[in-house]
Amino acid sequence: METERGEECRTFAVAPGEKIDILELEELGRRYDIAIYLYFEEELARKVSISDDLAMYKEVPEYERPFIRLDSFISFAGSQDPGFRDKLSELPLILEVIACGEAVIEGEERRYITTLMPFLDEMEALEI
């Protein structure tokens, strides 16, 4: 069962509406085995659950979806620009936490966090 979108995620150290650095989220996900998703479309991020999105886009290749696993995003960006991680350390990319909780992800009950990528005009200084 998916956790309510507005419910505070007490055990995750983050809450909906909070802004957090992408590298801190990556570490949080790795340390506590949390599936973290990065959305590119605000309306989708705010209106649909991660379970529904995964079901709706299951036939769409990961890199063509309007959302992506955070670790996949960082890995892909790093493969395109070997200095990407260094750029993120110098100029943090801040994501907004949209929802968190537990849901069936890839066939098993998992903890998750969904986040929203800032709009491109907010990212002018970070050349990706």
- Sole residue written with tokens 């983050």: 14
Residue whose C-alpha is closest to residue 21's, from 128, 99, 118: 118
Interval 25-68: pLDDT, tens: 999 999 999 999 999 999 999 988 899 999 999 999 999 999 99
Q: How big is the CA angle at 77 (ends 76 and 79), to the nearest 5 degrees?
A: 65
pTM: 0.84
Q: Tens of pLDDT along 103-119?
A: 988 889 999 999 999 87
Is the distance from CB of 118 to CB of 93 less than 8 angstroms? yes
